[in-house]
Amino acid sequence: MSNTKATRLRVPRESLSTRIGALNLGKAKAYADFIRDGDPDSPVPCWGAITQRFVEAFPSDEERLAVLDQLIVEGDRRPLYLFIETSRRRPRLLAALCERVGELPVSVQRNLVALPEAATYVASALEKLDPSARRVWDGGEELKRSERELLAGRVGELMAFQYFVPDAFDPRHEPAPKTTAAPAVDPGAPDDGGTRR
């Protein structure tokens, strides 16, 4: 007699889509549908397109904070890395991340404490840091720079593809891309001069 139990495989795309779709935001359901299925008659999106749509769909800090709650509960590091990257010029979001830093995965904490934009907020949340993240905070600029490079690499990998590529895709027979993948530009974030874009 077999003692195996049937378990439901957790699919991150479905799980994240369900959490965001349950938000009491008008745009949440459409965004959740996009995460799960993409636009009608278009390919299924990868993290690049999901992040670009997030930036477009949720321009206000309040909306993004509601989504952040769901990202933290979900616990998947990938959207959290992308949230950090798209929040670097949004002080209110950085402050919210630091207030909840103890709820973040350790690798995400390490990346967050390395950002100079978050330093003021991290300083007021030191007791919530995992010891590994605290070592980054206390470790000096070289260690912080190394963590920022890790974050940039992770974000670059996640943003590299906008949509899933069909199995039949052969890059040797495809035209070169017109542009290179770049991090999502947040039109609502202040520019270097402090004005909104």
Quick: pLDDT tens for 131-179: 999 999 999 999 999 999 999 999 999 999 888 755 555 555 555 444 4
Quick: pLDDT tens for 47-81: 999 999 999 999 999 999 999 999 999 989 999 99
Lowest mean pLDDT segment, chosen from 36-45, 63-72, 140-149, 185-194: 185-194
Nearest Cα neighbor of 32 from 45, 19, 41, 44 is: 19
Percent of the chain with pLDDT over 90: 61
- Residue 139: exposure state from Cβ atoms within 10 A (0-12, 13-18, ≥19): middle
Three-class SS string for 164-187? Answer: CCCCCCCHHHCCCCCCCCCCCCCC
Domain range summary for the chain, segments of one domain joined by +: 12-165
Percent of the chain with pLDDT over 70: 78
Alpha-carbon span 176 to 113, nearest angstrom: 37
Helix 61-74 crosses helix 77-87 at what angle (to 10 degrees)?
160
